[in-house]
Structure 1
Amino acid sequence: MIDDLVHELRASTRPLVICDIDEVVLEFLDPFQDFLASMQYRLHADSFHLKGNVRSVVDGSAASHEAIHEFEETFFATQDRWQRPARNAKSVLDALHEMADIVFLTAMPPRHHAVRRTLLDNLDIRFPMISTDEAKGPIAAGLIGAAGRPSVFIDDLHTNLHSVRSHAPDCMLINMMASDVFRALAPPPGEGVNLALDWNHADNLIRAHFASLRAL
């Protein structure tokens, strides 16, 4: 399925927007906080990490790495009960689709693909999606293709942005995060990465980038 999608997108001559989902298209941290509350845990905004910050509301003890992994697994398996669209994500993506191809590239175990696909469809967010445990850079480069058409990659995590920069150096990079609280704790995204405060800001950055390339 991934190979078919890559082939289809590489055959297009339109600009391409490759977009992460968690904390970009869908809120993740606030819904995850709600999920943890149902498990008698809380995510504390002490640093830009889950480990050490997920603590019991009963005795304050930090959840183990294994417990956090189980929480994430259960959350992703039931994400349709918790997650909701980031503000203005759908309207901006729908408008951008008039001028560009849109594809989602989410770092989520592929076993949860069907649940997320159903959630997005129910929200009428119907752009194609790739779920992967692999590095995003090589996949993004494959979607863009050797011709190097105008492209943008949006993600909340610096590691993913840097992976794409290594494999698709001409792709515009945008760091965006729905949670204002945790965005403030994040380290600087690094040289060559644009910071978008919200979807309206990202929309302006993307349109200006594509317009500048058309003017060349």
Structure 2
Amino acid sequence: MTERPNWRAEDLEAIPPRVLAELESAGVEPGRPLIAVDADEVLVHFAEHFAEWVMEKGFEFELTEYRLDTAIRRDGEALSRDEIFPLVWGFVECETRRQRQIDGAAAALRRLAGVAQIVVLTNAPAQVRADRVANLAGLDMPFPVVMNEGGKGRALDWLASRANAPVAFIDDSGDQHASARRHAGDVARLHLVGSTMLKPIVGPAETADHHPHDWREAEDMIRQILGG
């Protein structure tokens, strides 16, 4: 593989210091293929779990688009953003440690760990980092975790630069695939939506290279991409 260019000062400055420190501590080894994988809706359920949690509190939940602010209602009336934020944050604080696995994720990553190093690149709030790490470890996914902020492209490019080997990026967000294409264009991008609730709503990300239906398909694609 062609040597990646050295990072420029302005690239490093675009990554928040806390995120940069977590990237450094992820322990990426040069010369070994890398898998950078999102967590929510790729490794663990968010929307389905959140819907159950909200309905237990007496709200109605109907997801018709890829956003939460139109999905939560009380007596048929949509909640305001000011009412929704505490619910989302309450779920994150209470349930991150208990999120359920997406079918096949842990088994696929266990097998792929034989051919690549794995880093979880997630945008969950930094305040629940310990909960996210514990949740994934309890689901047999004890991989290094980076709590990113905003677009993942620059952090992904940092990881790819450190690995200097084939890299696969798996995420459910079209916006994140666009960020990856913009800042880490030579990384292979797989758009995977693990939630059956979201699959009918989320269309294929145009900026992704591959669109696996589930982790079985994703594993086969990743092996081909990484040469393993």
User: What is the deviation of 1:110?
Assistant: 0.3
SS in 2 for 1:205: helix
* Conservation of the 8 A alpha-carbon contact between 1:92 and 1:203: yes
* Conservation of the 8 A alpha-carbon contact between 2:168 and 2:222: yes
For 2:155 and 2:96, the matched residues in 1 are separated by 26
For 1:170 and 1:206, the matched residues in 2 are separated by 14
For 1:94 and 1:113, the matched residues in 2 are separated by 22
Say what the alpha-carbon RMSD is for the aligned residues.
Answer: 1.8
* Conservation of the 8 A alpha-carbon contact between 2:212 and 2:218: yes
* Conservation of the 8 A alpha-carbon contact between 1:16 and 1:152: yes
Tell me if 1:29 matches 2:42.
no
For 2:115 and 2:158, the matched residues in 1 are separated by 20
SS in 2 for 1:115: helix
Moved over 4 A (4+): none
Aligned residues: 208
SS in 1 for 2:199: helix
User: What is the deviation of 1:37?
Assistant: 1.0
Tell me if 1:140 matches 2:156.
yes
* Conservation of the 8 A alpha-carbon contact between 1:43 and 1:50: no
For 2:42 and 2:163, the matched residues in 1 are separated by 27
SS in 1 for 2:99: coil
TM-score, structure 1 length as denominator?
Answer: 0.89
Tell me if 1:160 matches 2:176.
yes
Which consecutive unaligned segments of at least 5 residues does structure 2 have?
1-20
Aligned to 1:96: 112
User: What is the deviation of 1:117?
Assistant: 1.3
Which consecutive unaligned segments of at least 5 residues does structure 1 have?
none
Q: Deviations over 1:5-31 (max 9, x none)?
A: 25x31x431110000000000011111
Q: Which has the higher mean CA deviation after the structures are superposed, 136-145 or 126-135?
A: 126-135
* Conservation of the 8 A alpha-carbon contact between 1:137 and 1:164: yes
Q: Which has the higher mean CA deviation after the structures are superposed, 115-124 or 157-166?
A: 115-124
Q: Which has the higher mean CA deviation after the structures are superposed, 94-103 or 64-73?
A: 64-73
Q: Deviations over 1:156-201 (max 9, x none)?
A: 1111111011111111101111222322212331044311111001
* Conservation of the 8 A alpha-carbon contact between 1:15 and 1:150: yes
Change (3 A) 1:80 1:147: closer
Aligned to 1:203: 219
Q: Residues 71-110 of structure 1 correspond to what in structure 2 (within 5 A)? A: 71-80=87-96, 82-110=98-126
* Conservation of the 8 A alpha-carbon contact between 1:14 and 1:101: yes
Aligned to 2:25: 5
TM-score, structure 2 length as denominator?
Answer: 0.85
Q: Deviations over 1:7-65 (max 9, x none)?
A: x31x4311100000000000111111111112212321322221212112xx1111211
SS in 2 for 1:174: strand
Change (3 A) 1:37 1:81: farther
